[in-house]
Homo-oligomer: A and B are copies of this chain.
Amino acid sequence: MRVEIWSDIACPWCYIGKARFEKGLAAFAHRDEVEVVHRSFELDPSRAKHDTAPVVEMLAKKYGRTLDEARAMEEHVASNARSEGLGYRTEGRDHGSTFDIHRLLHLARARGRQDELLDLAYRANFAEERSVFDAEVLVDLAAEAGLDADEARAVLTDEDAYADDVRTDEREAAELGATGVPFFVLDRRYGVSGGQPAEVFTQALEQAWQGRAITPIGAAAGACDADGSCEVPQA
C-alpha cells in the first residue's frame, strides 16, 4: 500500500500530523507493507525567495490580531505539538518561501533519504534555532540526512533543479481536491485531511487495506500464467 503525504515545512499541523500518522501507522498490522512518499505543497507559493518575516508578526497581520493574540494562537498549536512529544518554539521562528526546501526534498527522495530530511527540517524549523530559509542551514540538514553536501548545494544553486517536480506535486494536490495540508492519500483512493488523531490514521489504513479490490479492464489477452504457460486465449 502506498501513502502520499502532501505537506509544507512551514505548516505546524503537517509537523504534528506526521507524528500522529506515524503513531497510527505503527498500530497498523500491515505497516511493513506501507510505502510513504512525501509530496510538495507551498502554503505561500507567491512569497519571494528571501522575503522572511517573524511568524508571530505574520500571524498578527494576517488575522488582524495583536501580537499577544498571535502568540496565544501559536501557544495553542505548540500545546498540540508538545502532546505528541515534539519540540515547538513560539518565538523567533520565521515564515518564508519553502520552494527550495521542497526541491531539496525531491533530491532526498531520489537518494532514498526523504523521510530523514523532512524530520530534520521540521525539527530545525519548529524546535531549534535554525532557519530553514538559509541555504547553508539546508545544506547542513541535507548532510545530516545522509545526502552529499555538494550535491545538495548544487541543487539549491540551480533554481530549475527539481522545480518541475514541486510544481507537479502541487498540481496533483489540486486535482485530487486538496485545499490544505497535511493531506494524506492512501492508494489514490482514500484521503485524510489534517493532523487527525493517530486512531483515525490507523482506521483509514485499515479501510484502505480492505478496499484494495482492483477493477479489471479489457478482455483476455496474451499472457504468461503463474504456472509458466504463455498462450493466447482463444477468441
Contacts and interface: CB of A to CB of B under 8 A. Distances in A.
Interface in A202-235: 203-204, 207, 212, 214-218, 220-226, 228-233
Copies of this chain: 2
A43 interface: yes
A87 interface: no
29 contacts: A1-B188, A2-B188, A12-B224, A13-B221, A14-B224, A17-B222, A17-B223, A33-B168, A33-B171, A43-B226, A44-B228, A76-B232, A77-B230, A80-B222, A179-B225, A179-B226, A180-B224, A180-B225, A181-B224, A182-B223, A187-B188, A188-B188, A188-B214, A190-B216, A195-B221, A195-B222, A200-B217, A200-B218, A204-B218
Nearest to A16: B222
Interface in A184-200: 185, 187-197, 200
A8 interface: yes
B44 A222 contact: no
Given A2-B188, A191-B216, A196-B221, 6 more contacts: A43-B225, A110-B112, A178-B226, A188-B212, A192-B218, A197-B221
Interface residues of A, number: 67
